[in-house]
Amino acid sequence: MTRVIVVIGPTSVGKTKMGVELSKALNGEVISGDSMQVYRGMNIGTAKVTSQEMEDIPHHCIDILEPDEEYSVKDFQDAVRYHIDEMVSRGKLPIIVGGTGLYIKAALFDYEFSEMSDNHEIFRAKYHDYDNVQLYNHLQSIDPKSALELHPNNRQRVLRAIEIYETTGQRKSEIVDAQQHICLYDAYFVGLTLPRDILYERINKRVDIMKNNGLEAEIKSLHQLGLKRAHQSMKAIGYKEWFDYFEEKITLEEVYDNIKKHSRQYAKRQYTWFKNQFDVHWYDVNLKNFDETVQAVLKDIYQ
């Protein structure tokens, strides 16, 4: 079974640095496990790894799409599995680094995705006149189990569940239940953790750094290119908060406060998700001596 190292944890905990250090020590290369770093031109708000931070370690699944393109879990699954096979063929150890738990699980576990219709726009147009409540009620009538797991206002995922049923004749919940949730790789999950108060302080500081590095100019340039709320890329934390500002509903200060708040909430959800979904080996990050944390991980991996 193919060996894979997976570095996970909440935002701002040090995953990027850990991925690079493990790659240097284990003859590895990094595959980004972040669903938003695939987009070009979205560097500051996604805290995308810089060429300097890469330290000459190849990073894959970064800057592969324009921000007006969509990127599904299936697309990510295909890309990650391709890169794993390609790396192994060159004698390299695949090291997945990121925080989008569902994408990582889909890539590594026995997730299968039903073939869908090619023209999603036609399907969306079919339900164009349905408001979110009507659409959710329709899903409840055909797949109540999936409906329980979705928020009525998550229109995109509600539509997706309806589309699966109408295209395949199978309920999304039935497809999920048929999967055994078995990891297809010899995966070692490295989870990085920090005390919550310190983590939140680092998240707030990171947003301040984004502000100083020109996040406002970055999002304005994307907005001028025609990117709107509805685009998948603009649903990312650090970007979605700006549209109320552009519509003069909130102040600039409130934009940054919202980014900090949403980032902290996301970090909390990440912890919960990883703990429930993966067999994680957790490591307390030593911020004063990060190499000590790296060596602790390497010691366990070598065992």
Domains annotated for the chain, with CATH where assigned, are 3-111+181-302 (3.40.50.300), 120-178 (1.10.20.140)
- Is the CB of residue 207 less than 8 Å from the CB of residue 260? yes
Backbone CA torsion sign across 40, 17, 88, 78: negative
pLDDT of residue 180: 65
Tokens (6 digits) for 139 = 């899903």
Enter the pTM of the model.
0.82
- More confident site: 110 or 117: 110
Cα dist from 234 to 218, 219, 230, 246, whole Å = 12, 9, 7, 13
- Is the CB of residue 113 less than 8 Å from the CB of residue 107? no
Classified as helix, coil or strand, 181 is coil
| pLDDT tens digits, one per residue of 43-82 | 999 999 999 999 999 999 999 999 999 888 889 999 999 9
